[in-house]
């Protein structure tokens, strides 16, 4: 495995002729990232993982400085996952000066996470476009936990004519059901306990979506433990179940946690997966239940894909 910045990457890339898969990351890697690398490995001859904490996507009051950067253990995880090149550029290499020209995420980037974090998705898309231009991947693999990011990168690929295939892998969860995230490191043990209201809310929604027929949502639910491989588990909505009922089931769980002072809800919404607009009562097609909350000051997101 080679590790380097822009010059080393350009030299390495010029020598390669096979299909290249890219997994872009900000480091602090966990087994969710390793699942992305394993998939990239299966889809290509060579795998590049980028590790770069991108200042453009952090707000002034966010955790850019504090963001974990455990480079030695990150490199070990890349090696273990069979990565060929780790692109780990210095800040000054990626941004010798603040970029004047940036990618603008548009309406889909201004809602939900984009509303909570103004400018976030412009920063994400700008760095992802730079990574695409530098690494020239044939395929890229993203996690579906950051589902809005996935939708926007997919849209950027289409709108800006990048010749790149994008694959989304389902949320990887710890045994307690919490979606894996580098930011989970910020949670104290009691915060973590409180954060479990999020997967519980998704399970409640999945149960209503299934028409209440499912048993044992806590052990086999959409958001409960163990869903660490395979394609996205898309729950089918039973005939006659309305979007409103699904959203209300999740809201009831989160609101009671909020009333106990365990978390603050940022948003919870059942949206059309292709537009991120709220689902009307007669919705048919692919939907997403989007959830975001802060727990002990840590911003967490999760989602549940549903098919009406
Ligand atoms: O999902 C992330 O880790 C980041 O947003 C990404 C895609 C690497 C861009 O900085």
Give the residue, out of 22, 26, 59, with the most ligand 1 atoms within 8 A of its beta carbon, to mutate for a pocket test. Answer: 26
User: Is the pLDDT confidence value at 219 over 60?
Assistant: no
The DSSP symbol for 171 reads P
Give per-residue pLDDT as tens, 65-121. 999 999 999 999 999 999 999 999 999 999 999 999 999 999 999 999 999 899 999
User: Is the pLDDT confidence value at 220 over 90?
Assistant: no
Query: Closest ligand 1 atom, CA of 53?
Result: 10
Report the alpha-carbon distance of residue 94 to residue 308 in Å, rounded.
43
pLDDT score of 235: 87
Percent of the chain as helix, strand, coil, to the nearest 5: 40, 20, 40
Beta carbon of 140 within 6 Å of any ligand 1 atom: no
Give per-residue pLDDT as tens, 159-194. 999 999 999 999 999 999 999 998 899 999 999 999
> Whose CA is closest to atom 9 on ligand 1?
124
> What are the residue numbers of the active site?
33
pLDDT score of 233: 72
User: Is the pLDDT confidence value at 285 over 80?
Assistant: yes
> Whose CA is closest to atom 2 on ligand 1?
25
Ligand 1 centre to CA of 138 (Å) is 18
Beta carbon of 51 within 6 Å of any ligand 1 atom: no
User: Is the pLDDT confidence value at 217 over 90?
Assistant: no
> Whose CA is closest to atom 6 on ligand 1?
25
Report the alpha-carbon distance of residue 135 to residue 205 in Å, rounded.
40
The encoded tokens of residue 153 equal 């990168």
> Whose CA is closest to atom 5 on ligand 1?
124
Mean pLDDT of 41-56: 98
Report the alpha-carbon distance of residue 73 to residue 247 in Å, rounded.
39
Mean pLDDT of 53-72: 95
Beta carbon of 127 within 6 Å of any ligand 1 atom: yes
| DSSP run (H or E) holding 165 | strand 165-169
Q: Buried (b) or exposed (e) across 65-85, using 16+ Cβ within 10 A?
A: eebbeeeeebbebbeebebbb
| Residues 139 and 164 sit within 8 Å (Cβ to Cβ) | yes
Beta carbon of 124 within 6 Å of any ligand 1 atom: yes
pLDDT score of 212: 65
Give per-residue pLDDT as tens, 259-272. 999 999 999 999 99
Please state the pTM of the whole predicted model: 0.90
pLDDT score of 232: 59
pLDDT score of 182: 86
Beta carbon of 26 within 6 Å of any ligand 1 atom: yes
Q: What is the DSSP string of 257-302?
A: HHHTTS-EEEEEEEEETTT-PBPPTT--SEEEEEEEEEETTEEEEE
> Whose CA is closest to atom 3 on ligand 1?
25
Beta carbon of 293 within 6 Å of any ligand 1 atom: no
Ligand 1 centre to CA of 207 (Å) is 31
Give per-residue pLDDT as tens, 222-265. 565 444 334 557 889 999 999 999 999 999 999 999 999 999 99
Ligand 1 centre to CA of 26 (Å) is 6
Parallel, antiparallel or unpaired: strands 20-25 and 46-51:
parallel
Q: What is the DSSP string of 58-110?
A: S-TTSSTTTS---HHHHHHHHHHTT-SEEE---HHHH-SS--SS-----GGGT
Give per-residue pLDDT as tens, 122-160. 999 999 999 999 999 999 999 999 999 999 999 999 999
| Residues 246 and 257 sit within 8 Å (Cβ to Cβ) | no
Ligand 1 centre to CA of 124 (Å) is 6
> Whose CA is closest to atom 8 on ligand 1?
25
Beta carbon of 128 within 6 Å of any ligand 1 atom: yes
Mean pLDDT of 19-25: 98
Beta carbon of 54 within 6 Å of any ligand 1 atom: yes
């Amino acid at each position: 495995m080679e590790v380097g910045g822009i010059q080393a990457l350009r030299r390495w890339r010029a020598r390669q002729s096979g299909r290249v898969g890219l997994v872009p990351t900000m480091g602090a890697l966990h087994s969710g990232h390793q699942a992305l690398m394993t998939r990239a490995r299966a889809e290509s001859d060579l795998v590049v993982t980028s590790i770069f904490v991108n200042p453009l996507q952090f707000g002034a009051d966010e955790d850019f400085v504090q963001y974990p950067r455990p480079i030695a253990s990150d490199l070990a995880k890349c090696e273990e996952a069979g990565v060929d090149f780790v692109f780990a550029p210095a800040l000054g290499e990626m941004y010798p000066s603040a970029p004047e020209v940036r990618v603008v995420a548009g309406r889909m980037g201004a809602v939900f996470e984009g509303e909570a974090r103004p400018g976030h998705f412009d920063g994400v898309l700008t760095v992802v476009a730079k990574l695409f231009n530098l690494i020239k991947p044939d395929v890229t693999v993203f996690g579906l936990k950051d589902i809005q990011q996935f939708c926007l990168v997919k849209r950027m690929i289409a709108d800006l004519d990048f010749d790149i295939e994008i694959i989304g892998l389902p949320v990887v969860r710890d045994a307690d059901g919490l979606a894996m995230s580098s930011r989970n490191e910020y949670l104290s043990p009691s915060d973590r306990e409180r954060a479990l209201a999020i997967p519980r809310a998704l399970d409640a929604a999945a149960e209503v979506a299934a028409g209440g027929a499912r048993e044992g949502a806590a052990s086999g639910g959409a958001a409960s433990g163990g869903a660490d491989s395979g394609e996205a588990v898309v729950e089918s909505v039973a005939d006659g179940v309305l979007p409103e009922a699904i959203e209300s089931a999740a809201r009831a769980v989160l609101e009671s946690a909020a009333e106990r002072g365990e978390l603050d809800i940022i948003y919870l919404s059942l949206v059309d997966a292709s537009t991120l607009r709220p689902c009307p009562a007669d919705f048919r097609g692919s939907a997403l239940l989007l959830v975001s909350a802060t727990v002990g000051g840590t911003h967490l997101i999760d989602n549940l894909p549903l098919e009406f």
